[in-house]
Amino acid sequence: MKILVVDDEEAHRLLLRNHIQSEEWDVLTAEDGEDALARLAKEKIDIIVSDVYMPVMDGIRLHKTVRSIPGYEKIPFLFVSAYDDQYTMEAVKDPKIDGFMKKGKPMAELKEWIRYLTAPEDQRPKFPPGQTRKAGPHDQFRKKPGDSWR
């Protein structure tokens, strides 16, 4: 499996590459969105792990551009970002984005995300890495076993 890691911070790009390569996956790197597109033109990539904020072309524009390239319309795309500001949180709510992980999480979670996103959809666990279930809009009002309504 070929993984493309896109991050403008060289230290973080190399950290991700080294941890991912420990699984014997083939890892390529790019320093921004344009560099990533050049890699995609030369190599067949199976999953993209990208930062959100980068110069030249950020991760959000990269995602939209990649999804418009024939053959990459459904490539798994995981964002790994240090930011959890409003722009990032709104951007990653896009249902076409497959996953988001905050930088600083254990590398084991990154590997779980990669396995999760590259598994056939019918063989994936019910919930993505780091989640046990999706909260419903009214969870705070639901009665729990043994609770009374008084």
Q: What share of the chain is helix, strand, coil (3-state, %, to 5)?
A: 35, 15, 50
Give the tens place of pLDDT for each residue, 74-124.
899 998 887 767 777 776 677 777 888 877 777 888 888 898 889 888 887
- Tell me, what's the pLDDT at 144? 41
For residue 66, the Cα-to-chain-centroid distance in whole angstroms is: 14
Which residue range forms the structural domain that includes residue 37? 2-141
- CATH number for the domain that contains residue 96: 3.40.50.2300
Q: pTM for the whole thing?
A: 0.80
What whole-number distance in Å separates Cα of residue 103 and Cα of residue 98?
Answer: 16
In a domain, 149, yes or no: no
In a domain, 29, yes or no: yes
In a domain, 54, yes or no: yes
In a domain, 43, yes or no: yes
Provide the domain count of the chain: 1
